[in-house]
Chain A
């Protein structure tokens, strides 16, 4: 483990934890602008978290220890996921311990815990949300895995930093397979982060909500951890996307410490553009009926599989 690796690793974890709410705030701000509303500050999610951390927790009478444990588990898995995604640099010591498949597994762990916690109190909306979350998940997870597979087959490894490095160091070539998977990945990102058209992060309309329905019974610091984890998840997905599709500019072992200085501002720029793009997609699309969500995700899955077949056919 090199010093640079350890520094990059720590920097990534801390930055991800601290910056995640800001990224969410940025997306919300862009959305408000596009929708001609007066926009909240980028820092709004931080205010929200501070407020929640200062509130009492009201637990439902029959909430079990699992309910209280879940926010921390979800937060922990999201931080662990952030630690293995090469967002700033590729020399991450922890990423040897978990490759792309393990990353998908970590995200699945978080999803299972959120769903179990939602079922724990035993309310109508909680269980409904859990069911819908798992419905979204069972198609989104294999689609994400397929997206990773295409990138893995191109660079002959499942390790995310090596994929990112492999794609950076190659001559700038257009991979048709990656185009298909980029579409699939965007769809998965929207679905997994409870964004329009699958879910609406701003709604508490009972019949349509998915993610919010699962958090209904949470309050105080537990809710804060859940919200924070959700923000981290969005950031993680964005960074996975960067690593797979626009990895240029991330710091490498070969590049030395100065490459890190260049990588951090570049990441901020990438995030700013991605956040604005996400807001644009959300503004331009309408929410699907819940029953149409599986079709949306099945399309994503098929796109990813198509990308795989294209890769095999063209052999690039």
Chain B
């Protein structure tokens, strides 16, 4: 059999499966799983990333795998879209797997071998989701992904909160899966062939196409954590071990984005431009909702989970824009929006993984997830702190790192949208740009809080002075991901030229012009706008270095250490620093109507004054609790039918028979 990238990628997925199974040979050995199998998994990830990047520009490949039910073999297909997401999966998982090598320890929840199996099954199933070319294979992979990640989330299943979080995740994952299944059911269009090729060939009426798109958006939105289907994220991410959180947030959420792109641009032959507005609306709401909740969190992983909701919102905003532009026939702008979307997917995979893994190291070193009990760790854990800082600056959307590139592209797409042939949309889009600008600025706020409270300042607990920096493998994993953030930030043109293949494939466009020079990003669609991060970075760095050297050379005064001044106040202690609650206070104040707050304020006469504030999600009480009550009420109604006596059931049969006879006669 000749070499094909598809076969090579499938081999890597198979290797992941084998590594997972190998974990069961010695399920109790941390050494074997951690030191042998996880590094092998990381190598597979690198191999997958390399293969995927090399394969992006190659023609589409297909195969039929002889597995599955009789007469229903798995169809697989690799195209540019799948390759981009495979590269994301491989690249991010490589860093996360290296980190995991040093992360999983003895006596933490499930057996190491079992964890290894679940982890690699999760990786493999995500890969299969991206390669699947029929609804059947897709759903099998999708469900494997959901289940393996469920087991990973509930690694520490003896803790009731973690079981509850896992249940919520499983529930929403399955509600979403049902919607996706139904969407496939609609898309086969009466042919009863569930291969994706049949769906591409099917001609749906606009009404049915809209139903299919709506179901897909719901289903994939549930997986991605689009508001109002986001509730599982802030519960599941803190519950899971950090590498798993990184994998779920960085990679798994992107499979949902892949699904939406696949359905809207590939499987549905004709799309309606206004679907884009729906996606755009949900995206903007999620971005805003996510970031304001991130700003008021006091648990570091919960904060990151909300930040993921924000980023998914930005990504769906991009998807929505792409659909709008594509639908009204503005090809170049559609390509720009699509590239921005894909770029942000890549960026988020790497920067969010850095942050989640950073919290993992902090958690291991201190045993604390609560921001109120951390602080000053930059002295104790310099490696983790500085590498996390890269992720922090990236996700805050600051040049010259990668988060800024996708923000820049997205804003360009928004800015030059002016010619959409619907005046009303023309008015709405700039407001969308305003929301994105606000969200990015707020993301900066969130990240200053995140980094400042954990790593800077004085330690808030005495025990923190015992914290130790992460091990070498963890550092390498973090450095890999941080380096990817820097690379994606400094060489956007090279990345975009690769991503452009996808826009050609999905949007049926000629190759776009993206740069004026090898270092200068200048999308043709954005008219006269250019961005050259490398030049900007070099100039800024040169000024910084020259300034530092100049100051050193000219003025040779001493540097002394002394106690902090703080306006001359004495008896300053660590508890006088801003807490996470304090840092979130302006946001709570400004966006008060969005939060469900409970405050416990002390009176002047309290012997032991206590201040407590909890911030809840209004959607939970307004949407989910009533929904839960309704479901229970319906279940109660139905349960009246279930008497448990044989005579009653016979009566039911009898009545049904009579009714049917009456109908027939």
Contact = CB atoms under 8 A, between A and B. Distances in A.
Interface of A: 53-64, 66, 72-73, 75-77, 79-80, 83, 94, 96-99, 101-102, 105-106, 108-109, 111-112, 115-116, 119-128, 130-132, 134-135, 137-139, 141-142, 145-146, 149, 152-153, 156-159, 162, 204, 206, 216-217, 220-221, 225, 291, 294, 298, 301, 304-305, 308-309, 312-313
Contacts, number: 270
B532 A98 contact: yes
B51 interface: no
Contacts of A131: 578, 582-583, 585-586
Contact of A116 (B418, B448, B558): B448
A102 B379 contact: no
Most chain A CB neighbours (cut-off 10 Å) among B426, B526, B559, B569:
B559
A214 to B, nearest CB: 12
A54 B408 CA distance: 42
A127 to B, nearest CB: 4
A122 B457 contact: yes
A57 B559 contact: yes
A122 B376 contact: yes
Given A56-B559, A105-B404, A141-B444, A120 B456 contact: yes
A121 B455 CA distance: 11
Contact of B437 (A63, A73, A141): A141
B627 interface: no
Given A98-B531, A216-B567, A225 B551 contact: yes
Given A62-B458, A132-B586, A142-B441, A156 B528 contact: yes
B528 A146 contact: no
A76 B547 contact: yes
Given A123-B566, A125-B566, A221-B551, 12 more contacts: A75-B544, A80-B543, A83-B539, A101-B411, A101-B531, A108-B396, A121-B458, A122-B458, A123-B577, A141-B437, A220-B559, A221-B555
Interface string B574-605: 10111000110111011000000000000000
Instruction: Give the 3 A-B CB pairs with smallest separation, nearest first.
Output: A122-B457, A97-B532, A157-B528
B520 A97 contact: yes
Contacts of B527: 156-157
A53 B445 contact: no
B561 A97 contact: no
A137 B437 CA distance: 12
B306 interface: no
Contacts of A105: 397-399, 404, 408
Given A80-B543, A132-B586, A142 B437 contact: yes
B378 interface: yes
Contact of B399 (A79, A109, A220, A312): A109
Interface stretch (B78-86, B270-278, B312-320, B428-436): B428-436
A60 B540 contact: no
B567 A58 contact: no
Contacts of A305: 430-431, 434
Most chain B CB neighbours (cut-off 10 Å) among A79, A112, A156, A204:
A112
A99 to B, nearest CB: 5
A16 B625 CA distance: 59
A62 B458 CA distance: 7
B535 interface: yes
B460 to A, nearest CB: 9
Interface string B149-162: 00000000000000
A75 B543 contact: yes
B243 interface: no
Contacts of A158: 412, 415, 526, 528-529
Contacts of B587: 135
B70 interface: no
Given A57-B560, A138-B442, A94 B535 contact: yes
B557 interface: yes
Contacts of B567: 125, 204, 206, 216
Dominant secondary structure of chain A at its interface with chain B: helix
A58 B520 CA distance: 43
Interface residues of B, number: 87
A116 B450 CA distance: 10
B523 to A, nearest CB: 11
A102 B376 CA distance: 31
B225 interface: no
B628 interface: no
B529 A99 contact: yes
A63 B447 CA distance: 20
Contacts of B3: none
B425 to A, nearest CB: 11
Nearest to A115: B448
Contacts of A97: 520, 530-533, 535-536, 539
B572 interface: yes
B540 to A, nearest CB: 4
B644 interface: no
19 contacts: A53-B555, A55-B557, A62-B379, A66-B378, A94-B539, A98-B536, A99-B531, A106-B399, A106-B540, A109-B398, A122-B456, A138-B438, A138-B441, A138-B442, A153-B430, A159-B529, A162-B528, A217-B565, A221-B555
Given A61-B562, A76-B543, A102 B427 contact: no
A57 B556 CA distance: 11
A162 B526 CA distance: 14
Contacts of B430: 149, 153, 305, 308-309, 312
B240 interface: no
Most chain B CB neighbours (cut-off 10 Å) among A77, A124, A157:
A124
Contacts of B379: 62, 64
Most chain B CB neighbours (cut-off 10 Å) among A76, A125, A134, A145:
A134
Contacts of B533: 97
Given A56-B558, A138-B438, A138-B441, A102 B536 contact: yes
Interface in B506-549: 516, 520, 522, 526-533, 535-536, 539-541, 543-544, 547-548
